Amino acid sequence: MATIPANTRLAARRTASGWLGALVKAAREAPLMAVIILGGLVLVALLADLIAPYDPTLPVKGAEMFVPPFWMEGGSVATPLGTDFQGRDILSRLIYGARVSLVVGLMGTLVAGGIGTAMGILSGYVGGWVDQIIMRVTDAWLALPAIVFAIFLAAMVGPSMWNIIVILGAVYWTRYARVIRGEVLTLRERDFVKLAEIAGASKLRVIKKHILPNVMNTATVLASLTVGVVIIAEASLSFLGVGVPPPQPAWGLMLSEARPTLMAGQWWLTVFPGACILLIVLATQLFGDWLRVRLDPQTRNL
Amino acid sequence: MSSPVLEVRALKKYFPARRRLFGGAATWVKAVDGVDITVHAGETLGLIGESGCGKTTTSKLILLQETPTAGTISFEGRDIASLQGSDLMAYRRAVQVVFQDPFSSLSPRMRVGDIIAEPLEIHTDLARAAIDERVGTVLELVGLAPDVAPLFPHEFSGGQRQRIAIARALVTDTRLIVLDEPVSALDVSVRAQIITQLEELQRALGVSYLFIGHDLATVAHISHRIAVMYLGKIVETAASDALCARPMHPYTQALFAAALPSHPDDRTETKAITGEVPSALSLPSGCRFHPRCPSAMPVCSQIEPVLRPRDGGGEVACHLYD
């Protein structure tokens, strides 16, 4: 019996390129816009202390309230995007606000995804009454309007950034549970899962080695959608006054605080934070889409 | 003949079909209804029958994927229903399976080496190097190069994937492999290679096979003995040569008639059966095959025939030979 040789082309490529090559390849395929926007925002959030010209919570010394952006009449280069109703620098507030949006968006998604994926796998793989209970709770959860539910929870535990993260996680986990459960139900019937069970693998091992890796794809796609939703939800909660408490700078809070003056023509108080929310949500969606393709070994052409 | 590895006695599996509003089932699907089969050490038993006859349910029962309604399955003299703890793990280790679809049976996210190593990881605490060595050994056994281990399943053809599945089934000290239509999804040319490979492996390792199939030519080629199954029951069992030389049950004869002759000019006496397989929900009275049987007699619809010794060894359940 002749042995079939290993695919030499594949073997050669793996050894020659290594991780550096993989990195270069990933960079080449990444959606440039999304990576630039997200990378920029992450950098800004990390280096906020270094690059923000002023303290975001205090009025700029010697600056008026409602100074317009620098290109408008009466604008000043010292406060390039103008000042708000307290004379605080809008640019500095936007820079620090990126921290809040990114931390809440990512952590909230992580909490929601963690709870939801665990529940979905438990429900789908264990089945029986465990499945019944989890799914009925999910139904009840989904029947509540997300934002109203979040407001209710936020009003109960009080506003703070970390509370918001936990609340949004607790509100949005149900989508994961539902979708992941469906995925697990089909996976459970796949031959490779049955083979593992026949070989004597424990439930925990099957979940770890076969179920989890195969639902990560779906979980990632959901996460890419959730990051945007969570960021908007955080902005909405802050806008409604139950989110990040003032004077901490958050984009949603900035919108909320600028509401009374919106009609008075001071558009820079709202347009800049609004544009930031739009950009970050758009970028996360694009990035998530790219990630979905990358995570599939068949489409990533390994 | 050497000692039996697997003994299935009076095995039954009924599935509830319609449930009453409260409580028990109103009707039952009798998927497996009193099956006796024996697989000896180093032997291949072919289990043949058309779709829906209970072949796969039988294999699921043997693999402890389902619990039998009645009957016993013993492996090396021990009833597998009573196995627990380390005895159960020993059984899981000794009995493996190869499924029909080589595209579903290999996890798309695991490397070939890890797929094959899985039973070892479950049952042994070998070091990584020892596992890799064993994986390399079984890969060579099934005719693949050991350096394919780091690749993913989608980089292989159907035949190669099935070799990988066989390698996985062999990686522990396996004594019985249930081959559930292992070549049905493959090209005819690849089929022959896999069958030859399986036969070589059996000679080298002394492993027993329970070969489930619907293609008579393939099953007859690889099996030492054949059991013909129809609607949950064994209707005829005999040594492969004896069965091919003289199929006795009308259903077995029909299966042979339906198989392609080895030469296009060969004309077989066609006794092709007509009609569909009756629903397992409402089984015919008497002999289950009588509505489709070309030589049915009045007695066939009244009394269910039992397995009796047939000429040339083996057993047949048919009133023609009473």
- Domain architecture of chain A: domains with CATH: 91-302 (1.10.3720.10)
Contact between A209 and B110 using a beta-carbon 8 Å cutoff: yes
Distances (CA, A) of B119 to A202, B23, B124, B131, B282: 11, 40, 8, 10, 41
Closest alpha carbon within chain A to B170: A199
- From the list A7, A205, A213, the residue facing B122 with the nearest CB is A205
3-state secondary structure of A132: helix
pLDDT score recorded for residue B182: 87
Q: Which residue of A lies nearest to B85 if distances are taken between CA atoms?
A: A200
Say how far apart CA A165 and CA A115 lie, in whole Å: 13
- How large is the average pLDDT for residues A294-300? 57
Average pLDDT over residues A110-114: 93
Identify the residue whose tokens are 């990114």. Answer: A102
pLDDT in tens, B33-72: 888 999 999 899 999 988 878 888 999 999 998 888 888 8
Architecture of the domain whose range is B4-230: 3-Layer(aba) Sandwich (3.40)
The answer to whether the pTM exceeds 0.80 is no
Residues of chain B with CATH 3.40.50.300: 4-230
Question: In chain A, which residue's Cα lies nearest the Cα of B61?
Answer: A198
A-contacting residues in B 219-248 (Cβ below 8 Å): none
A interface test, pick of B64, B103, B118, B177 with most A CB neighbours within 10 Å: B118
The DSSP output letter for B144 is: B
Interface of A with B in 197-256 (CB under 8 A): 197-201, 205, 209-210, 213-214
Query: Which pLDDT score, from 0 to 100, does residue B24 have?
Result: 66
Mean pLDDT of chain B: 85
A198 to chain B, closest Cα gap in Å:
6
pLDDT band, residue A119 (cuts 50/70/90): very high
Question: Taking CB atoms and an 8 Å limit, are B96 and A199 in contact across chains?
Answer: yes
Helix or strand (DSSP H, E) at B237: strand B233-239
Q: For residues A266 and A87, give the distance between their C-alpha atoms in angstroms, rounded to a whole number.
A: 13
Structure tokens at B18: 């319609």
Q: CB–CB of A14 and B147 under 8 A?
A: no
Instruction: Compare all CA atoms of chain B with the CA of A6 and give the residue at the minimum distance.
Output: B148
Q: How far is CA A214 from CA A187, A193, B165, B304, in A?
A: 8, 11, 19, 49
For B258, the token pair is 């339906």
Looking at residue B3, its amino acid is S
Q: Is the CB of residue B173 less than 8 Å away from at least one CB of chain A?
A: no
What is the ipTM for the molecules in this complex?
A: 0.84
pLDDT at A8: 44
Of the pLDDT bands very low, low, confident and very high (cuts 50, 70, 90), residue A110 is: very high
Instruction: Give B214 to chain A, closest Cα distance, Å.
Output: 20
Give yes or no for A300 touching B (CB within 8 A).
no
Mind listing the pLDDT tens digit for each residue in A187-198? 888 889 999 999
Strongest mean pLDDT among A49-58, B117-126, B308-317 = B117-126
